[in-house]
């Protein structure tokens, strides 16, 4: 093992748990997709590491890379859907201890992304708009939609049909 590999493994171990947690939430707890997302994030980050200027924390920068990779993969998946008849991967639903996580996982994709970034990770709408390639108004409307759906999912308004 050489110094470069040692250094990379240290970086990986320091930041991957945070990246993986974010990836799991963005992918509705699809473990395989989350792992692919983390791997592609590191590949992309290794290529772009020279562009990291240190204005933000490394972890924030890595999370931004992951969100970008996720956005590209979602777009790519949409282009490919329709070529063959594939059942969508659904998150596991058998763990009652994670009602909140499961409710988040059940949100529609666009609303889930905004909700996770805003309400779980504290990103501002402007940052979310930049990261997801949407306008701030869309970010706000998706957040409102996500919260309304979450209220129903968690039965907060006794509005469950």
Q: Is 144 in the site for another protein (CB under 8 A)?
A: yes
Q: Is 156 in the site for another protein (CB under 8 A)?
A: yes
Q: Is 96 in the site for another protein (CB under 8 A)?
A: no
Provide the greatest CA pair distance for the chain. 60
Chosen residue from 10, 12, 52, 135 binding another protein by CB under 8 A: 12
Burial 24-34 (b: 16+ CB within 10 A, else e): bbbbbbbeebb
Chosen residue from 50, 51, 55, 84 binding another protein by CB under 8 A: 84
Q: Is 32 in the site for another protein (CB under 8 A)?
A: yes
Name which of 21, 44, 43, 52 is nearest 34 in CA terms: 21
Chosen residue from 21, 57, 92, 135 binding another protein by CB under 8 A: 21
Tokens (6 digits) for 72:
């590209």
Neighbours of 161 (CB within 10 A): 3
Tokens (6 digits) for 73:
């993969």
Number of residues interacting with another protein: please give it, by CB under 8 A: 46
- Residue 66 DSSP SS3: helix
With beta carbons less than 8 A apart as the criterion, state whether 42 and 66 touch. Answer: no
Q: Is 126 in the site for another protein (CB under 8 A)?
A: no
Q: Is 123 in the site for another protein (CB under 8 A)?
A: no
Q: Is 154 in the site for another protein (CB under 8 A)?
A: yes
Chosen residue from 3, 5, 50, 158 binding another protein by CB under 8 A: 5
Measured distance CA(85)–CA(42) in Å, rounded: 31
Q: Is 20 in the site for another protein (CB under 8 A)?
A: yes
**Angle (nearest 5°) at CA 39 between 102 and 123:** 55
Chosen residue from 40, 70, 112, 114 binding another protein by CB under 8 A: 40
Q: Which span (17-25, 50-58, 64-72, 128-136) binds another protein, by CB under 8 A?
A: 17-25
CB of 130 to another protein, least distance (A): 20
């Amino acid at each position: 093992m050489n110094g470069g590999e040692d250094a990379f493994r240290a970086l990986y171990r320091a930041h991957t748990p945070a990246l993986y947690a974010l990836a799991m939430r963005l992918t509705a707890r699809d473990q395989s997709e989350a792992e692919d997302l983390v791997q592609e994030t590191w590949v992309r980050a290794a290529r772009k590491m020279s562009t990291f200027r240190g204005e933000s924390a490394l972890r924030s920068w890595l999370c931004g890379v992951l969100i970008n990779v996720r956005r590209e993969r979602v777009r790519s998946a949409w282009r490919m859907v329709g070529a063959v008849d594939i059942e969508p991967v659904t998150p596991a639903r058998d763990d009652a201890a994670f009602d909140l996580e499961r409710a988040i996982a059940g949100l529609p994709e666009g609303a889930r992304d905004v909700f996770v970034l805003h309400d779980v990770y504290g990103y501002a709408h402007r940052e979310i708009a930049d990261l997801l390639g949407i306008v701030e108004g869309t970010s706000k409307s998706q957040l409102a939609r996500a919260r309304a759906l979450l209220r129903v999912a968690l039965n907060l308004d006794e509005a469950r049909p």
